[in-house]
Amino acid sequence: MSAAKILVVDDTPSNVKLLADVLGAKGYAVVTAASGPDALEVVERERPDLVLLDVMMPGMSGYDVCRKLRANPATTMLPVVMITALDPGQERVKGIEAGADDFLTKPIHQPEILARVRSLLRIKSLYDELTELNRTLEQRVSEQVTQLERLSRLKRFFSPALAEAIVHGGADDPLKSHRREIVVVFLDLRGFTAFAETSEPEEVMGVLREYHAAMGEIILAHEGTLERFTGDGMMVFFNDPVPVPDPQARALRMALAMRAGVEALTGRWRKLGFDLHLGMGVAQGYATLGAIGFEGRWDYGAIGTVTNLAARLCGEAHGGQILVSRRLYTAVEDLVEAEPLGELTLRGFARPVTAFNVLRARATG
């Protein structure tokens, strides 16, 4: 640790030499100034840890120098000891009013000045430590605020656990464009258009709130990524932004849970005269993923044939059906029972697509 630096300010060379010798003998680094203006320049240049300041100097008194130091935010806490040969009673009051930390009278008593210097340097050291702690605390708070803002933004797209992992470095930046194999789930309500056209807006919003709440809870429980929802339609995918084990199984378990969740709601809806049922489509394939939008409004999107396939299968599904592609069914046929639907002609696909309707989960045991 470097020695504390002390500035001695006095227009009398013999006084300066005496103080420099006394302090230097105790291991302190000493810098000097012969006038008030010189003292302010040395403080700016050398950044001393303490100032021993003579009161009576031509041009600018020690009191004036002390007031200047206290007015500067960079030196407002710099320890200052005033030294005078004048009446100590009157000068002490002036020194305190000018902002001095301590006061000594001439002739200098060496043990006393060394004791005062040690005491003030100890206080300054504690103050410097506190200042550094505050600075690092402010930095940590700023970093945490930034993380919270990013976490809030990411939670719009991902499960809370996944968003936490992304923020704390457990996942790559998901907003950067990348290509990955994913499992896509599309769902919407059969009969919703007719329901919305013939019902009051409050009734429509009430149904959507119940539906979104139930589906959202299931999506979070299965750690799916909600890409979008538009009215009654939703798109969820798995294996991005962080790869997960068995994304096909996760997607099918979520789809079955969603169907059961909507079936629980339809009983109440039916009593109100609302004929609504859930249709779903699930497909597996490669997509390009990342941020889509413009400054001030970004969404997280997946683009590729797999999203179109899941959407078209969803469009073909009747109420209560979960239609899956052949590739996906091959990956999960040990987990679910399904019936083949043969080849479907889907809009946007040049060839017919083989599809299966998932009936139920296979019994385990």
The pLDDT tens digits of the residues spanning 224-257 come to 888 877 889 999 999 987 788 899 999 999 999 9
Number of domains in the chain: 2
Q: Please, which residues bridge with residue 285 across strands?
A: 182
pLDDT at 88: 63
Q: Is 119 in the same domain as 198?
A: no
Structural domain boundaries, residue 85: 5-133
Distance of CA 133 to the CA centre of its chain: 21
What is the pLDDT at residue 296?
A: 66
Q: Does residue 148 sit within a domain?
A: no
Return the residue matching tokens 């001393």: 48
292: number of Cβ within 10 Å: 15
Q: Which helix (H) or strand (E) holds 359?
A: strand 353-361
Residue 58 has pLDDT above 90, yes or no: no
Per-residue pLDDT, 252: 96
Are residues 186 and 253 both part of a single domain? yes
HSE, side-chain direction, 13 A CA sphere, residue 73: 0
Q: Indicate whether 83 belongs to any domain.
A: yes
Whether residue 225 sits in one domain with residue 93 = no
- Residue pLDDT, tens place only, 26-40: 899 999 999 999 999
Instruction: With respect to residue 141, please indicate whether it lies within any of the assigned structural domains.
Output: no
Q: What is the C-alpha separation between 100 and 93, in angstroms, rounded?
A: 10
pLDDT computed for residue 104 by the predictor? 82
Q: Evaluate whether residue 242 is within a structural domain.
A: yes
225, 340: one domain: yes
User: Does residue 298 carry a pLDDT above 70?
Assistant: no
- The span from the CA of 165 to the CA of 267, in Å, is 39
Confirm whether 158 is domain-assigned. no
Residues 185 and 319 reside in one and the same domain:
yes
Instruction: Provide the pLDDT confidence category of residue 204 given band limits of 50, 70 and 90.
Output: very high
Taking 60 as the threshold, does the pLDDT of residue 161 lie above it? no
- pLDDT of 189 above 60: yes
Is residue 204 located within the same domain as residue 310? yes
Kindly tell me if the per-residue pLDDT of 180 is higher than 60: yes
Rounded distance, CA 223 to CA 4, Å? 58
Q: Before 58, cis peptide (omega within 30)?
A: no
Co-location of 290 and 243 in the same domain: yes
Please report, for the domain that includes residue 333, its CATH number. 3.30.70.1230
Q: Does a structural domain hold residue 152?
A: no
Closest of 124, 275, 102 to residue 198, by C-alpha: 275
Query: Residue 337: what pLDDT?
Result: 93
Please say whether the beta carbons of 287 and 304 come within 8 A. Answer: yes
Closest CA to 313 of 325, 329, 331: 325
pLDDT tens digits for range 41-53: 999 999 999 999 9
Q: What angle do CA 179, 182, 188 make, to 5 degrees?
A: 125
Q: What pLDDT does residue 120 have? A: 85
Please state the pTM of the whole predicted model.
0.58
Do 204 and 346 sit in the same domain of this protein?
yes
Both 217 and 289 in one domain: the answer is: yes
319 — pLDDT class (breaks 50, 70, 90): very high
**Rounded mean pLDDT of 61-67?**
91
Position 171 confidence tier, pLDDT thresholds 50, 70, 90: low
Does position 138 have pLDDT exceeding 80, yes or no? no
3-class secondary-structure state, position 298: strand
